[in-house]
Amino acid sequence: MEKVRYGIIGVGNMGRSHALSLLGEVKGAELTAVCDISPERLEWAAEHLPEQIRRYKSASELFESQSVDAVLISTPHYDHPPLAIEALRHGLHVLIEKPAGVHTQAVQEMNDAAAKSDRKFGIMYNQRTNPLYQKLRELIQSGELGEIRRTNWIITNWYRSQNYYDSGGWRATWAGEGGGVLLNQDPHQLDLWQWTTGMMPKRIRAFCHFGKYRKIEVEDDVTAYVEYANGATGLFVTTTGEAPGTNRFEINGDNGKIVIEDGKLIFWRLRTPEPVFNAEFTGGFGAPECWKCEIPVAEGGGEQHVGILRNFTNAILHNEPLLAPGEEGIHGLTLSNAMYLSAWTDNWVELPIDSGRFHEMLMDKVRQSTFRKEAAVQTALDVTGTH
């Protein structure tokens, strides 16, 4: 195979951005088809994409068409697992948008289907291409930071207005989206939190506020406290309703702390690891000598979505290792599912979570929902710079 023929399922905000990227920015990739259940979205495709690109009204037509080798699934989240499973069944390579799905039960089924198939399976974790997080991961995994003690992420700069929530009826509803800030905006951070540190918590206690700042039924403000097997703790604070927001990820270890904020990676490096200092120190007050080091990292945030598209294409053509294997989508989703469970039950949640119980409680939310959107306008938004 010289070129990977791609089909995009769902040409809304994100799908159309991927479609335009696949028209020339990704060597070895060729966009051959798009599919959307909305006639307006297909009209957009007819007007803006070259006319040889086929347009399908349903995913099943696309799967049967023999016109693609790989699909990129950018529909609302609930549909990611069933569409991925169906695409794999048709022998297609599958790249899904984040989050992997809404509940881990369905995502586990998708992972099982991928494990049985010999096709490539990836997830659009574009933030994994960001050199800041790649460097952080390297520093932690090489032991530079020592044993991790604390992982705190304040991610409150995902500001979203009411107009954003009103664009598209599925958004910020239990039935259509399955969650709010944790499921739409934060999948990137929930992925990076455990991808960079290499640790999943063993238990979580979370506090979610539902519709606190916007007329929505799902959460728009969350504070979660986590505990890890090695005794480390962490905090995850997020909202879409604050301005100006903060994006600060601080990881503390035996050898100091690393802070990522404002596009910089600062390592506050202890000359002597804290446990060693503590064992040797004979004075009254005192603290380890600390050097503030700005770690050089390439600017610009990396190749982002196009980087994942290039990597996925190279994985198919040249067996390049995937930067974001699809199977890993379950980790970040487990964290958000656990946070909801904790908030709904007003209690601690142990990991791995009881995925059946979470699914039941989520379906209760869907059934019991009386929420109606006042203004659900189906507009496509410009996604530039939002992720």
Ligand X SMILES: NC(=O)c1ccc[n+]([C@@H]2O[C@H](COP(=O)([O-])OP(=O)(O)OC[C@H]3O[C@@H](n4cnc5c(N)ncnc54)[C@H](O)[C@@H]3O)[C@@H](O)[C@H]2O)c1
Contact residues toward ligand X (CB under 6 A) are: 9-15, 35-38, 41, 59, 74-77, 79, 97-98, 124, 126, 168, 184, 380, 383, 387
Cβ at position 187, least distance to ligand X in Å:
7
Contacts of 59 (CB under 8 A, 6+ apart): 9, 35, 83, 86, 87
Strand order through the sheet with 121-123: 54-56, 29-35, 4-9, 70-73, 93-96, 121-123
| Residue written as token pair 């995850």 | 236
Secondary structure of residue 190 in the 3-state scheme: helix
CA-based nearest residue to 66, from 36, 85, 30, 92: 92
Strand 349-350 and strand 247-253: the pairing is: unpaired
Specify the residue, 14 or 148, whose C-beta has the smaller distance to ligand X: 14
Q: Toward ligand X, which CB reaches closer, 237 or 376? A: 376
Instruction: Specify the residue, 20 or 287, whose C-beta has the smaller distance to ligand X.
Output: 20
Q: Give dist(CA 288, CA 130) in Å, integer.
A: 31
Q: How far is the CB of 284 from ligand X (least distance, A)?
A: 52
Supply the minimum distance, in Å, between the C-beta of residue 1 and ligand X: 25
Annotate 102-161 with three-state secondary structure. Answer: CCHHHHHHHHHHHHHCCCCEEECCHHHHCHHHHHHHHHHHCCCCCCEEEEEEEECCCCCC
* Nearest distance from C-beta of residue 126 to ligand X, angstroms: 5
Q: How far apart are CA 193 and CA 210, in angstroms?
A: 23
- Cα 239 to Cα 153, 334, 375, distances in angstroms: 12, 19, 22
123 or 351: whose CB is closer to ligand X?
Answer: 123
Residue nearest to ligand X (CB): 12
10 Å CB burial of residue 205 (0-12, 13-18, 19+) is middle
Shorter beta-carbon distance to ligand X: residue 14 or 182:
14
SS3 294: strand
Q: Is residue 381 within 8 Å of 229, Cβ to Cβ?
A: no
CB closer to ligand X out of 141 and 161: 161
- Least distance to ligand X, CB of residue 381, Å: 7
Nearer to ligand X, 82 or 273 (CB): 82
CA pair distance 251, 276, nearest whole angstrom: 19
* Shortest Å, Cβ 169 to ligand X: 9
Between 11 and 181, name the residue whose CB sits nearer to ligand X.
Answer: 11
Residue 357 CA to residue 355 CA, distance in Å, equals: 5
For the bound state, the minimum distance from the C-beta of residue 109 to ligand X, rounded and expressed in Å, comes to 17
Min dist CB 190 to ligand X, Å, is 12
